[in-house]
Amino acid sequence: MVELTPFLGARSGGRLKDFGTGQWFSIRPSWSWGFVAGIAPGRPNLIFEGTFLRQSTRVDAENAFLGGDGNLHDLDLETGLAGVQWDFAPTARVRPFVSGGVGATSFEAQGGGYTTSFTAALSGGVKLMTTRGFGLRVQLRALGFFSGSSRRDLCRWSDCEVAIPGNGTYQVDLSAGTLFAF
C-alpha cells in the first residue's frame, strides 16, 4: 500500500540566539505546508514514510541578519524527514497513528544567510477514511532542530552571530491534509 498526503498546517515555536549580544529572537508562528509519502512493505501497521515541510516566517530582530533596524526579518525553513509510522488500526475508518523521523532542516535568512541543522520529529494523529483509498489525515508534530554550524551562517552580509542555540530549538506543527491510498 502507498499513501500520499499533501497538507496545510500551522507551525509555532523556536528561538534563535545572537551569540554576540546574548539576545534571543523568537520565530513567529505562521502557516506551513508540505506532503507525506509512505509505503507499507507488507505488514499493514508499519509504514515507512518521507516528509517534506516548509514554513515561511519572520523573526523580530533588532540586530539580526542585516543589522539593527528593529524590523521583522524573513526566515524560511525547509525540512526533509525519513521515518516510520505505526498505524494502530490499518483497516478501520478511524486510524490513530504515531510516527517518528530524522532528517535535516535548512534555515534561510533574509540577505542570503543559510544553515542546515539535524532535525528529529515525533508525531501522532488520526486518519479519517471516507473510502478505502481516500480520507483526511490530521497530525500534531513536534520538531527539534540541532546544529553544529557556525554562528555566522545566518548573517552572511553583516557581523551578527545569530544561530540555533547549542541545546537546540523546538517547534510544534498542527496539520491536516487529504490522504490518498492505493
- Structural domains in the chain, CATH included, are 2-181 (2.40.160.20)
pLDDT digits (tens, 9 = 90+) for 96-153: 999 999 999 998 887 677 888 999 999 999 999 999 999 999 999 999 999 865 566 6
40: how many CB neighbours lie within 10 A of its CB? 18
Tell me the pTM. Answer: 0.89
- pLDDT-derived band of residue 156, with 50, 70 and 90 as boundaries? low
**Residue 67 burial by CB count (10 A; 0-12/13-18/19+): exposed, middle or buried?**
middle
Q: pLDDT tens digits, residue range 23-43?
A: 888 899 999 999 999 999 888
pLDDT tens digits, 58-99: 887 654 555 555 555 788 999 999 999 999 999 999 999 999
